[in-house]
Structure 1
Amino acid sequence: MAERPELAGWRWGPFTFRVPFYHTRLCWSEFLQGLFVSAATGLALIPVMTAFFGLSFEEAVALSMIHASLIASAVIVFGEPYAGGWITPALPLILAFVIGGYDDPSSRFQAMTALSLVFASLVLMLGITGLGRRFIIWLPDTLKAGIILGASIAALKRVFVDDAERFLLEQPIATGLACAICLIFTFSVPMQKLKARSRFFFMLGALGLLPGFLAAAIIGPLVGEVSFDIQWGFVVPPLGEALAKASPLVNGWPSREMIIQSIPLALIAYIILFGDLVTGNEVLREGLKVRKDEHIDINLNRTHFSLSIRNAIMGIVAPFFPTQGAVWTGVHVIVVQRWKQGPKSMNSLHSGLASYYLMGLPFIYFLLPLLTGLKPLLGVALSLTLVLTGFACAYIAMSIPRDNASRGTVVLIGAALAFFEPWQGLLLGVVATLALVGWDRSPDPIPHDE
């Protein structure tokens, strides 16, 4: 059987740089979805950066632009076949560690630098040695499930307890409506059946988080929770001022204690990341059964190297862990689904992915109407991201245990990780797994991985 061609590009080391509009074509459907969904989601951390890290709105936009550009580079510069995104389930654990453990913005950014560089070093080592796959196989299922449930509890705790006054209670109707719509379209069993019968609901569901945002944007002003002050023109994000507050080159490097304290969280983030990669690979393999005209190179070592480079750059320039992950599962599924419809719908998967990330051009961060229009919805965006993360993590975590002892242990580990220090929660998780369940490794934790 002849080797299927892969989309051409410029090779550099194990990576492939595909120049937008030259190697990859513009796919309008993905481009328009990315314009709103990627923008709103990418800006969702701005309320956190302004409230807890001492940045102005414009400075937070500048850091978000760097994060978005690095994510887009995964597809365009490194040639990854995944829709890149945050390691979202780790976000609430990271925020609890950084915001709860340090009082001033300077120390918080140093802690983010420590996390980013420790994670980059870990991923690089596991990629070079090939130990990443063995590490995940070695971990017991109960401990993995407990870590994922810990992320779920931490996410919901941040929305409903820790920062309820700042995010949820300020816009309860808009936030509640957006969360309800997105939860229903993403997870509801009756809605999945309706989407299978109705093309309208299928297309609506394919827009990801956008329907929830639109509902909040429409209903929010009617109930007095959202007030738009859209301004026209262009803005130049103040990169110099933002980097002066965030970058360790100016702000100072993290202490040895910070680096040591970051190691358990980096391990937790890696376990979550590898689960995302397994999911992303299975989605690709399903697509390859249909698209026999295009070869997609799935290379875990290359992915480890690209993750290490992006996290190292972020840690030095614009530290905010964990915004440099491998797979944004919802978007990845949406793009692959349209790629499966054939070359007439999407000539190449890489074209669809590059279009969703706006061909790597961060022009949305210079458009003042878009930024000011999204600004009153950013609290909704962050709450929505965390609530969906909490539900999805619980959904996944509780499907892993096979008996009641394991289920109880998973809840115990999850609570420990959400309420204690990361190293304490991880230590308790290991002890509880050994004492109550045993080292219950799955014989095939990475199905069909090659």
Structure 2
Amino acid sequence: MENRPELAGWRWGPFTFRLPFYHTRLCWSEFLQGLFVSAATGLALIPVMTAFFGLSFEEAVALSMIHAALISSAVIVFGEPYAGGWITPALPLILAFVIGGYEDPASRFQAMTALSLVFAALVLFLGITGLGRRFVIWLPDTLKAGIILGASIAALKRVFVDDAERFLLEQPIATGLACAICLIFTFSIPMQKLKERSRFFFLLGSLGLLPGFLAAAIVGPLVGEVDFDIQWGFLVPPLGDAFAKVSPLVIGWPSQEMLLQSIPLALIAYIILFGDLVTGNEVLRDGLKVRKDEHVDINLNRTHFSLSIRNAIMGVVAPFFPTQGAVWTGVHVIVVQRWKQGPRAMNSLHSGLASYYLMGLPFIFFLLPLLTGLKPLLGVALSLTLVLTGFACAYIAMSIPRDNASRGTVVLIGASLAFFEPWMGLLIGVVATLALVGWDRSPDPIPHDE
């Protein structure tokens, strides 16, 4: 068996630190996408923070900067092979619990701290005991595919049903155009053939989410859906002021009751996170069939440890759950698709991921023209990532089942998880799998690259 190399880095414990520009090369396509698309998506929570959590725009930017730096650390500091992001499907559940259950901003941030710390403890326990990895191995393929499809339906439901007024009805042309362009360039079979024949379309396609995002920025003002108010200069995010309003070290620690109330939501968030990890592994499995020249170390215990550390830091410094997840599916698919094109397109998966997440290094949050320029596009960015996530999850989920009974069961499980409470959806999924398919475990549930 050929022993393929893993990209070098500095080992510390189970983790690998890869210094940008030293261990990883700069991939311009991924860097530009990260600069604009990831920045805009990372800032998308600012309207929520200012409306419900008592922060100014500048203080919300400071919190977003810390969240982005922590997400970037997953790739750069901890050496994870996934594009990091939020546990997005859990967000509406979390906001309903925190905003609906607590009146003042201080108690809402204490509730966010409780959620972050309980989740960090849960994930640390599953990592230390190795139960997280065993859970992934134990899960049958049909239930696994159903969880992925459930994430797909939930993401699309958020854009087209739950938050349609905020997403589609406010900026329908800009949002629709951005989603259409990105879907065509990323997944279209006719476009893949056109990219093979035309260098122009090949280069345009290599920019991933950026062409769609730029199209929305150009067309949006022409149709009256986007109104830019760009301000020049530099913004120094008021980290001290934000820290004084959000950190439990200043406003006080959450009560025991808050911690206990957080346990069910932390478990639900883990179930969703688990679906993200399964999806991320399936995307890597697909890529490793093509890229036989690079070893990618997939270690679920390491992933659990890094998640626990990031959520614990966030809970103390800048609590806003669930912004520290494992996989941003839309971006993960985009980067892996480029990596599959071979060493000339991307020398290493880690180079592509690190280039994308250079946006998480704080310098962009000091650029006032960029912040104010992205402000009217925040909804488009969030819609774009949810639609791409939905499509990517659907095509991965439907590629797993091997017979018609399993395919039908996957759709039933996916719909149950998307429309019912997570516990109810999971219960229906387990019963449906046992009754209709059986416990069809895969002989190789975690992708290996031998």
TM > 0.5: yes
- 1:198 to 1:52, Cα distance in 2 relative to 1, 3 A: farther
* Contact 1:416 1:428 (C-alpha < 8 Å) held by counterparts: yes
- In the TM superposition, residue 264 of structure 1 has moved relative to its aligned partner by 4.6
- 1:30 to 1:149, Cα distance in 2 relative to 1, 3 A: closer
The DSSP-based 3-state class of the residue aligned with 1:90 is helix
- 1:275 to 1:202, Cα distance in 2 relative to 1, 3 A: farther
Higher mean displacement: 190-199 or 408-417: 408-417
Structure 1 portions without partners, runs of 5+? none
Q: Following the alignment from structure 2 to structure 1, what is the Cα–Cα distance between the partners of residues 418 and 338? A: 38
CA RMSD of aligned residues (A): 3.6
Q: Following the alignment from structure 1 to structure 2, what is the Cα–Cα distance between the partners of residues 394 and 285? A: 16
- In the TM superposition, residue 112 of structure 1 has moved relative to its aligned partner by 3.2
Q: Following the alignment from structure 1 to structure 2, what is the Cα–Cα distance between the partners of residues 25 and 342? A: 15
TM-score (norm 1): 0.83
- 1:412 to 1:263, Cα distance in 2 relative to 1, 3 A: farther
Higher mean displacement: 53-62 or 394-403: 394-403
Superposed CA offset, 1:312-370 (max 9, x none):
11122222233223333444455456666777766655444333222863100000000
Superposed CA offset, 1:30-89 (max 9, x none):
333322222222223323333443433222211111111012212222233433333344
* Contact 1:4 1:295 (C-alpha < 8 Å) held by counterparts: yes
* Contact 2:156 2:386 (C-alpha < 8 Å) held by counterparts: yes
- 1:267 to 1:31, Cα distance in 2 relative to 1, 3 A: same
Matching of residue 359 in structure 1 with residue 325 in structure 2: no
- 1:376 to 1:265, Cα distance in 2 relative to 1, 3 A: same
- 1:330 to 1:379, Cα distance in 2 relative to 1, 3 A: closer
Q: Following the alignment from structure 2 to structure 1, what is the Cα–Cα distance between the partners of residues 236 and 8? A: 34
* Contact 1:264 1:426 (C-alpha < 8 Å) held by counterparts: no
* Contact 2:17 2:78 (C-alpha < 8 Å) held by counterparts: yes
* Contact 2:99 2:108 (C-alpha < 8 Å) held by counterparts: yes
- 1:380 to 1:2, Cα distance in 2 relative to 1, 3 A: closer
Higher mean displacement: 189-198 or 396-405: 396-405
Higher mean displacement: 90-99 or 234-243: 90-99
- In the TM superposition, residue 381 of structure 1 has moved relative to its aligned partner by 1.3
* Contact 1:261 1:423 (C-alpha < 8 Å) held by counterparts: no
Higher mean displacement: 309-318 or 83-92: 83-92
- 1:184 to 1:342, Cα distance in 2 relative to 1, 3 A: closer
* Contact 1:20 1:359 (C-alpha < 8 Å) held by counterparts: no
TM-score (norm 2): 0.83
* Contact 1:102 1:108 (C-alpha < 8 Å) held by counterparts: yes
Higher mean displacement: 310-319 or 326-335: 326-335
- In the TM superposition, residue 434 of structure 1 has moved relative to its aligned partner by 5.0
Higher mean displacement: 207-216 or 93-102: 93-102
Superposed CA offset, 1:186-240 (max 9, x none):
3334333433443333332332221221111111111111111111100011223
Q: Following the alignment from structure 2 to structure 1, what is the Cα–Cα distance between the partners of residues 156 and 337? A: 30
* Contact 2:35 2:359 (C-alpha < 8 Å) held by counterparts: no
- 1:200 to 1:114, Cα distance in 2 relative to 1, 3 A: farther
Q: Which residue of 2 aligns with 1:134?
A: 134
Superposed CA offset, 1:143-172 (max 9, x none):
444433443343333333433333332222
Q: Which residue of 1 aligns with 2:260?
A: 260
- 1:396 to 1:379, Cα distance in 2 relative to 1, 3 A: same
* Contact 2:75 2:81 (C-alpha < 8 Å) held by counterparts: yes
- 1:75 to 1:396, Cα distance in 2 relative to 1, 3 A: closer
- In the TM superposition, residue 135 of structure 1 has moved relative to its aligned partner by 0.8
Q: Following the alignment from structure 1 to structure 2, what is the Cα–Cα distance between the partners of residues 285 and 145? A: 14
Identity of counterpart residues, as a percentage? 93
- 1:209 to 1:46, Cα distance in 2 relative to 1, 3 A: farther
* Contact 1:208 1:330 (C-alpha < 8 Å) held by counterparts: no
Q: How many residues align?
A: 450
The DSSP-based 3-state class of the residue aligned with 2:44 is coil
Q: Following the alignment from structure 1 to structure 2, what is the Cα–Cα distance between the partners of residues 143 and 19? A: 38
Q: Following the alignment from structure 1 to structure 2, what is the Cα–Cα distance between the partners of residues 374 and 77? A: 27
Q: Following the alignment from structure 2 to structure 1, what is the Cα–Cα distance between the partners of residues 21 and 52? A: 40
Superposed CA offset, 1:282-315 (max 9, x none):
6667767877776554433222211211121112
- 1:73 to 1:28, Cα distance in 2 relative to 1, 3 A: same
Structure 2 portions without partners, runs of 5+? none
Superposed CA offset, 1:92-136 (max 9, x none):
554455556656544543443333223322222222222222212
* Contact 1:59 1:241 (C-alpha < 8 Å) held by counterparts: yes
Q: Following the alignment from structure 1 to structure 2, what is the Cα–Cα distance between the partners of residues 127 and 49? A: 31
Q: Which residue of 1 aligns with 2:319?
A: 319
- In the TM superposition, residue 380 of structure 1 has moved relative to its aligned partner by 1.4
Q: Which residue of 2 aligns with 1:162?
A: 162
* Contact 1:150 1:416 (C-alpha < 8 Å) held by counterparts: yes
* Contact 1:63 1:242 (C-alpha < 8 Å) held by counterparts: yes
- In the TM superposition, residue 448 of structure 1 has moved relative to its aligned partner by 3.1
- 1:399 to 1:245, Cα distance in 2 relative to 1, 3 A: farther
- In the TM superposition, residue 173 of structure 1 has moved relative to its aligned partner by 1.7
* Contact 2:154 2:418 (C-alpha < 8 Å) held by counterparts: yes
* Contact 1:15 1:77 (C-alpha < 8 Å) held by counterparts: yes
Q: Which residue of 2 aligns with 1:220?
A: 220
